[in-house]
Structure 1
Amino acid sequence: MHINVTRYGAYVVVDIKANAFVHHMVRNIVGSLMEVGAGNQPESWMAELLAAKDRTLAAATAKAEGLYLVSVDYPAHYDLPVLPMGPLFLAD
């Protein structure tokens, strides 16, 4: 699993890769990242949350508005076409 956060002008892109996701997992992670970004929690808080494995310790779930699924990666043995990584409006 990895999480990368990158700013592109007015946009913040959160790239999360894992072998599986549970309901609202990405929104829960983004909600906690927003608390760190707002300065309400230190950066180390994210590692503490993940280590605790207790959802009740985390921030509120981020709203779905503004969050977009950009791509899904599959193992190479499926021989699926490789599309450009998006969101495409950031490619300029």
Structure 2
Amino acid sequence: RFQLVVKTAELCNAFSELNDPIDQGERFNEQKRLKEAGDEEAQGADDDFVEALKHGMPPTAGLGIGIDRLTMMLGDIENIKEVILFPTMRPKNNEDK
């Protein structure tokens, strides 16, 4: 796992993916159970992915880039509140109350 830091701000978080088919299958089944129980945010099982892991899919990695932080860096903006995509979702300041 690593983090890319630019100008003292974390730009992305990188990680290795779980590649144990048994563990991954159990996690997918738990998500499937939660989804069937009404959890709208739960994901279904990806049986094809688990099957690929069983056949020896090589280790993989991923990363998550903070688009807001990338925009800050490219636009030389110091406050993340200036680049939030949905301004109506910005947290209210105590002064606004």
Q: TM-score range by the shorter chain?
A: under 0.3
Structure with greater proportional helix content = 2
> TM-score, normalization: structure 1?
0.25
Q: For the pair shown, which has the larger CA radius of gyration, 1 or 2?
A: 2
> TM-score, normalization: structure 2?
0.24
